[in-house]
Structure formats: structure tokens, C-alpha cells
């Protein structure tokens, strides 16, 4: 190994994972070169939390990991290398104190994601990290089966270790692309198919357009498929001109998108009544209406349980006309209406795509990466961090914490390698 490569770590990617990897490697004693294809680093970080920087949350470690689903345990080592408390302490020491105003979501006290990026850039400058903007890595160089550097066009940059933290395909307008997956695949890694995550869903049914802008504050969302039999996503649901969005839908979207790779549509169930009465209580409510408010229209009374435009859609799909009064509604029709208010099935046919997705779901197979170091099991000296790995979580600071923690671990590990 040349003298130029002996202590150099190259980080591919200038997002939150890449920037933390660069800081971690530099603090570990490495001479670090970071390559970012965009004109500026951290563009996705600037967009986090609507620009306010929801960097993490207050869940304890075990609950945090559970929210990542079946692959969550892979993140244990990264979260212990840079835990939530350690991350918040580090940011505070860099001049960015944080807080959780709602008791869950953690933001900079300034409410500006830009302050986190500025603090990171100050650290990189202090550590003499060589950041090369508008510079695209075109290949990972191997010699005798291990990393020896990267290519930037026709130029070769020697290094003892490389961290691929190039992000995913989400938000191409902010620099999202498949370039990191391509580099990993060329180096011999398997890529779990990429689908959009934290993204709106488009439905076969057109009636949601009539409810566009309406929110159900608290509902349960289920995907009616055997692979998701035990999954329930809870939170707000928003109707859009093309289908559904809102936190509960965004959290379920990657699972739906993955099923859509093989199936033309996915059945999704939710409670239009949200946190309002369940089926039994709704039946009792309807019985009371029949007895005490029988001359009222069904539509007007349903609009007391759900927003009016949604009441119109539900009555329409159950064949209830606008002038049907409660006293004249057949009992069987009432039962069907109660069942629909409690559990409504709608069919998803597509997502809003990577252009609108907050994350990519899929990526470098976790089976091919050591969780304790984030080093490749296939290519010594090659490390991964952040969204490029097959691990993604729900809304609420989960993915940004994972990016920063995994970047930190990968950078530290790369600096310590031979």
C-alpha cells in the first residue's frame, strides 16, 4: 500500500451519513477525503423535518429498534456507538442545543436544520477533511480482493478504506440517485430491490379526491396481506387528489410498495371513524339515533362522526341517498354503514414515486455487512452507512438518527482498519 493510501479514508457521499462518517474517521486519526456529487453537502439534511431538523426522538433503544421492523436489530451496534443521548450531547458541544417540544420529536432549539449542517461543516473544517464537491466516484478500486481506493473518472484516489454513504434514490431533486447501489453491486454486493418509502399512495378508487385535504387524526392502518398480518400502523391519515397520505400511510408505504413489485394492487384497511367509537359503540349510537333522531338524514348524522365530505363518500359507496332519514333506513343497511365506518378497504395501485419519497426502502443486503463495524463481509476495507443499506424506519427522526449513528460507526471503523 502506497504512503498516500496508508492513512486515507475516502467517504462517498455528503449527506448526514457521509458527513458523520467523515467526522468519525477524522477523529479516529485518518486523513479523510469526502466526495459529494452535488454542488453543496447535506441537501437532504436541510430538508429534514420540513427544514426544522427532526434529528431523532425520545424513544428508548428497544422501542426505537422495533420501529424498524424485522431488520431493526442490525442497528444495535450503530446506535450504541452513537446513541441518541450521545448525538444530542455532541450537537450541543458543537453549538447546536436540541430539545423535544412535544416530548417525542427532537429538534435544534433554533428550529433550523441548517444549524446542524453548519456545525458539521465547522467540524470537518477543523479536522482538515478534504471535501470535494461536484465530484462523482465512478468505481471502487480493489486489489487482491480488498479496497485500495476509488476512481473519479480517469483519476485514481488511493485509500486504505472506503465508506459508501451515497444515500438512496429518494428525492432526486435533492441529489437522490442509484449511484451508491451501483458502486456496491460492482464491488460484488447484492442489492435488495429498491422501492419508495415514506411516500403517498395512489388508489384505484377515485372518491378520495373528493375528500382531498381532509385528515383523520387517529386511525389504524392495516395491509391485508399475509406478509403484513401482524403489522398495524397508527397515526393521522390524509386524503389527497390521488389517494392517501399522512403519517400512518407514509409509515405503511414501503410495505405496500414492496408488495406492488409483484401484485397489481394492494388492499389497505383503515378506520374512517379514527379514534371515535368502535363498531359496537357505533351500532349503539345508530340505535340511539333511530330512537331519538329518526327524522334526521343519515348523511347529516354520519357527518357528526366523520368529516362531511368523507360522510358523503361513505354514504355514496353504501347507496345511501342524501335525503334518506334514519327511521327509514333498513337495519341491514345500517349494519353495513357501521361496518364501513369501522373498517374501510381501499385498493392501492401505485405510490407517488421516488420524486416524492422521503427515503428509499431496500439496498445493500444486511447479510453481507458486519453490523458491529458496518464493514463488508465480501470486500475488506469497504464500509457502508445510512440509506444505502437495507434498513429504513418510519417518520419521526428514526432515519436521520440511523444515518448519523451508522455514519459515525462506519467512519470510526474505517479509520481503525489496517
How many angstroms separate the most distant Cα atoms in the chain? 89
Is residue 401 within 8 Å of residue 59, measured between CB atoms? no
Task: Specify the DSSP element, H or E, that contains 203.
Answer: strand 201-203
CATH of residue 256's domain is: 1.10.8.260
Residue span of the structural domain in which 183 resides: 3-195+358-416
Would you write out the chain's pLDDT as a tens digit for each of its 418 residues?
Answer: 555 567 899 999 999 999 999 999 999 999 999 999 999 999 989 998 889 999 999 999 999 999 998 899 999 999 999 999 999 999 999 999 999 999 999 999 999 999 999 999 999 999 999 999 999 999 999 999 999 999 999 999 999 999 999 999 998 888 889 999 999 999 999 999 999 999 999 999 999 999 999 999 989 999 999 999 889 999 999 999 999 999 999 999 999 999 999 999 999 999 888 777 677 777 787 777 777 776 778 788 888 888 999 989 988 888 877 777 877 778 788 788 888 888 999 999 999 999 999 999 999 999 999 999 999 999 999 999 999 999 999 999 999 999 999 999 999 999 995 4
Structure confidence at residue 294 (pLDDT): 67
190 and 205 belong to one structural domain: no
Which residue, of 352, 381, 407, is where some domain finishes? 352
158 and 219 belong to one structural domain: no
Q: How many domains, the chain?
A: 2
363 and 313 belong to one structural domain: no
29 and 108 belong to one structural domain: yes
Structure confidence at residue 334 (pLDDT): 78
342 and 239 belong to one structural domain: yes
411 and 339 belong to one structural domain: no
User: What b-and-e string marks burial along 241-262, b requiring 16 or more CB atoms within 10 Å of the CB?
Assistant: ebbbbbbbbbbbbbbbbbbbee
160 and 43 belong to one structural domain: yes
267 and 388 belong to one structural domain: no
Structure confidence at residue 337 (pLDDT): 81
Is residue 367 within 8 Å of residue 384, measured between CB atoms? no
32 and 80 belong to one structural domain: yes
The burial of 205, by beta-carbon neighbours within 10 Å (0-12 exposed, 13-18 middle, 19 or more buried), is given as middle
97 and 125 belong to one structural domain: yes
146 and 15 belong to one structural domain: yes
374 and 264 belong to one structural domain: no
* 321 SS3 class: coil
Helices and strands, number each (H, E), in the chain:
14, 19
CATH of residue 123's domain is: 3.50.50.60
Which residue, of 302, 320, 352, is where some domain finishes? 352
Structure confidence at residue 305 (pLDDT): 84
Structure confidence at residue 264 (pLDDT): 97
Structure confidence at residue 418 (pLDDT): 42
Which residue, of 352, 373, 395, is where some domain finishes? 352
Hey, which residues does 152 pair with through a beta bridge? Answer: 155
What is the spatial distance between Cα 284 and Cα 287, in angstroms, rounded to a whole number?
A: 5
Note the pLDDT tens digit of each residue in 334-363.
Answer: 788 888 888 999 999 999 999 999 999 999
Amino acid at each position: 500500500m502506497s504512503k498516500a493510501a496508508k492513512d486515507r479514508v475516502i467517504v462517498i457521499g455528503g449527506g448526514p451519513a457521509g458527513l458523520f462518517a467523515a467526522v468519525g474517521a477524522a477523529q479516529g486519526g485518518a486523513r479523510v477525503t469526502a466526495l459529494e456529487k452535488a454542488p453543496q453537502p447535506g441537501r437532504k439534511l436541510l430538508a429534514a423535518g420540513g427544514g426544522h431538523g427532526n434529528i431523532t426522538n425520545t424513544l428508548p433503544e428497544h422501542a426505537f429498534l422495533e420501529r424498524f421492523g424485522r431488520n431493526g436489530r442490525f442497528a444495535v451496534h450503530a446506535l450504541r456507538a452513537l446513541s441518541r443521548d450521545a448525538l444530542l450531547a455532541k450537537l450541543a458541544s458543537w453549538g447546536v442545543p436540541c430539545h423535544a417540544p412535544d416530548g417525542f420529536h427532537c429538534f435544534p432549539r433554533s428550529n433550523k436544520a441548517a444549524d446542524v449542517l453548519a456545525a458539521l461543516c465547522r467540524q470537518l473544517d477543523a479536522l482538515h477533511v478534504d471535501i470535494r464537491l461536484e465530484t462523482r466516484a465512478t468505481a471502487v478500486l480493489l486489489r487482491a480482493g480488498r479496497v485500495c481506493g476509488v476512481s473519479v473518472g480517469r483519476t485514481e484516489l488511493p485509500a486504505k478504506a472506503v465508506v459508501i454513504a451515497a444515500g438512496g434514490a429518494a428525492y432526486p431533486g435533492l441529489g437522490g440517485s442509484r449511484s451508491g447501489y451501483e458502486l456496491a453491486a460492482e464491488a460484488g454486493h447484492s442489492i435488495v430491490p429498491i422501492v419508495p418509502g415514506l411516500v403517498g399512495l395512489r388508489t384505484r378508487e377515485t372518491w378520495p379526491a373528493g375528500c382531498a385535504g381532509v385528515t383523520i387524526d387517529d386511525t389504524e392502518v392495516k395491509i391485508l396481506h399475509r406478509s403484513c398480518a401482524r403489522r398495524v400502523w397508527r397515526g393521522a391519515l390524509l386524503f389527497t387528489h390521488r389517494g392517501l397520505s399522512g403519517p400512518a400511510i407514509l409509515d405503511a408505504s414501503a410495505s405496500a410498495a414492496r408488495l406492488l413489485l409483484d401484485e397489481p394492487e394492494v388492499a389497505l384497511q383503515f378506520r374512517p371513524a379514527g379514534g371515535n367509537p368502535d363498531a359496537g359503540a357505533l351500532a349503539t349510537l345508530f340505535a340511539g339515533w333511530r330512537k331519538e333522531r329518526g327524522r334526521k338524514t343519515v348523511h347529516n348524522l354520519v357527518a357528526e362522526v366523520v368529516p362531511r365530505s368523507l360522510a358523503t363518500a361513505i354514504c355514496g359507496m353504501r347507496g345511501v341517498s342524501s335525503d334518506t332519514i334514519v327511521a327509514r333506513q333498513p337495519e341491514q343497511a345500517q349494519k353495513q354503514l357501521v361496518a364501513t365506518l369501522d373498517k374501510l378497504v381501499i385498493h392501492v395501485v401505485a405510490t407517488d414515486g421516488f420524486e416524492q419519497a422521503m427515503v428509499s426502502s431496500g439496498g445493500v443486503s444486511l447479510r453481507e455487512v458486519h453490523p458491529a463495524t458496518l464493514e463488508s463481509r465480501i470486500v475488506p476495507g469497504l464500509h457502508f452507512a445510512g440509506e444505502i443499506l437495507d434498513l429504513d424506519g418510519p417518520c419521526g427522526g428514526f432515519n436521520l438518527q440511523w444515518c448519523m449513528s451508522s455514519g459515525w460507526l462506519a467512519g470510526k471503523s474505517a479509520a481503525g482498519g489496517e
